[in-house]
């Protein structure tokens, strides 16, 4: 589900004190959504990383009580103590904790207590973690623990991210680039061994890099360290020609025939246009794109069509296809 739907679902479930596990790939804002909910509701949020704890830490430390010669457990100081009436206990990266630590959380999650400790009535539990397929160090969640949650899986969403980015004053060039290259918002590939890759989180880092106003010769290295060198080069190329690019939406709606003159701008435009459509795009959108390519230099018109063909997007049924073939068939190979 997209972030906004995940947020709405969490808001409903936390009101009923139903434990939630929020799944999703790294860097897409799982923890941000939980803290945002707490902030909007004016309640406390305690972020607890179980991967940093030992199995005994949650239960507390035993000590001798002289009054009746008994052993009691001192509750952990990091758990809600009731001084805040309402809140969310956020167990982030729960499935990176060792199995014994996960097991120690069973009772807290289901029964809202562990040892001598009881979670205050106004508090709810939300956990989060990366999927096993995300190349992270995770431990398979035992079925008894998994059965204690309602599981929600979150995916990145361009529109949700743009709304958030505008509200938080993310650099306008970053927002424009993501609008032109939606695939650039989240570019995590489990087969790629690169340490740097694009996620909503790392685009925040790019924003901070730009705001720090580094010397020009450092930009590629710094931004590449956040989102990867290839995407960093594309972003900086876009930054240089941004003012010369026509509006993508207007092109796909058939409202403009404006064509940039600079080669760099044409390369950026063609990449953005081909990325914007897929096999689910309407015939009208594809035909508008096809008509627009008739105004482009031949090699760029062919670049777009070859990319669409490689992705098995059918074009020969479109109204403008015969005219396109007449103009550019000799360039196809």
DSSP string covering 83-107, please? Answer: SSSSEEEEEETGGGS-HHHHHHHHH
Residue 141 has pLDDT above 80, yes or no: no
Could you list the beta-strand ranges (E) of 18-143: 20-23, 44-49, 61-65, 70-74, 87-92, 113-114, 117-118, 123-129
pLDDT level of residue 190 (50, 70, 90 thresholds): low
Residue 263 has pLDDT above 80, yes or no: yes
Residue 251 has pLDDT above 90, yes or no: yes
Question: What pLDDT is attached to residue 9?
Answer: 95
Q: Compute φ and ψ for 235, nearest 5 degrees.
A: -65, -45
Residue 207 has pLDDT above 80, yes or no: yes
> In the structure encoding, which two tokens stand for residue 326, read together?
């007449």
Q: Kindly report which listed range (64-78, 89-103, 246-260) carries the lowest average pLDDT score.
A: 64-78
Task: Measure the CA–CA gap between 203 and 186, rounded to whole angstroms.
Answer: 9
Residue 174 has pLDDT above 70, yes or no: yes
Q: Kindly report which listed range (42-46, 271-275, 291-295, 296-300) carries the lowest average pLDDT score.
A: 271-275
% residues pLDDT > 70 (the chain) = 94
For the stretch 52-61, contacts whose Cβ atoms lie closer than 8 Å and that sit 24 or more positions apart, written own/partner, are: 53/97, 53/101, 54/101, 55/98, 55/100, 55/101, 55/103, 55/104, 56/104, 58/101, 58/104, 58/105, 58/108, 58/114, 59/104, 59/114, 59/115, 59/117, 60/115, 60/116, 60/117
* Burial zone of 165 (CB within 10 Å; 0-12 exposed, 13-18 middle, 19+ buried): buried
The overall pTM is greater than 0.75: no
Q: Kindly report which listed range (70-74, 86-90, 221-225, 274-278) carries the lowest average pLDDT score.
A: 70-74
Torsion from C-alpha of 271, 272, 278, 280, nearest 10 degrees:
-170
Task: Measure the CA–CA gap between 139 and 129, rounded to whole angstroms.
Answer: 10
Residue 70 has pLDDT above 80, yes or no: no
pLDDT digits (tens, 9 = 90+) for 106-118: 888 888 888 778 8
Per DSSP, the three-state class of 131 is coil
pLDDT level of residue 82 (50, 70, 90 thresholds): confident
Q: Which residues of 232-250 are buried (b: 16+ CB within 10 A; e: fewer)?
A: bebbbbbbebeeebbebee
Task: Measure the CA–CA gap between 53 and 225, rounded to whole angstroms.
Answer: 31
End-to-end CA gap in the chain = 41
CATH architecture of structural domain 3-153: 3-Layer(aba) Sandwich (3.40)
* Burial zone of 183 (CB within 10 Å; 0-12 exposed, 13-18 middle, 19+ buried): middle
């Amino acid at each position: 589900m997209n972030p906004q739907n995940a947020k709405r679902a969490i808001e409903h479930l936390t009101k009923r004190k139903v434990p939630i596990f929020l799944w999703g790939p790294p860097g897409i804002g799982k923890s941000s959504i939980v803290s945002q909910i707490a902030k909007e509701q004016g309640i406390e949020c305690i972020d607890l990383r179980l991967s940093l704890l030992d199995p005994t830490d949650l239960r507390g430390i035993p000590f001798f009580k002289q009054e009746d010669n008994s052993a009691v457990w001192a509750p952990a100081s990091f758990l809600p103590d009731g001084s805040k009436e309402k809140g969310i206990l956020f167990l982030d990266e729960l499935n990176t904790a060792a199995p014994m630590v996960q097991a120690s959380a069973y009772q807290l999650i289901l029964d809202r207590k562990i040892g001598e400790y009881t979670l205050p009535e106004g508090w709810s539990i939300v956990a989060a973690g990366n999927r096993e397929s995300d190349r992270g160090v995770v431990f398979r969640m035992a079925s008894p623990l998994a059965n204690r949650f309602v599981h929600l899986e979150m995916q990145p969403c361009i529109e949700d991210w743009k709304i958030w980015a505008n509200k938080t004053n993310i650099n306008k060039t970053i927002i424009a680039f993501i609008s032109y290259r939606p695939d650039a918002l989240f570019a995590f590939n489990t087969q790629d061994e690169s340490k740097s890759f694009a996620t909503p989180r790392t685009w925040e880092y790019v924003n901070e890099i730009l705001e720090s106003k580094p010397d020009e010769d450092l930009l590629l290295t710094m931004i590449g360290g956040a989102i990867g060198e290839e995407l960093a080069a594309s972003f900086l190329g876009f930054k240089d020609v941004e003012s010369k690019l026509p509006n993508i939406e207007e092109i796909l709606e058939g409202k403009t025939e404006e064509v940039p003159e600079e080669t760099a701008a044409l390369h950026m435009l063609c990449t953005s246009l081909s990325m914007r459509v897929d096999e689910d795009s309407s015939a009208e959108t594809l035909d508008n794109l096809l008509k627009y390519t008739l105004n482009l230099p031949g090699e760029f018109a062919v670049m777009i069509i070859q990319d669409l063909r490689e992705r098995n997007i059918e074009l020969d049924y479109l109204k403008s296809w015969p005219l396109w073939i007449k103009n550019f068939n000799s360039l196809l190979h």
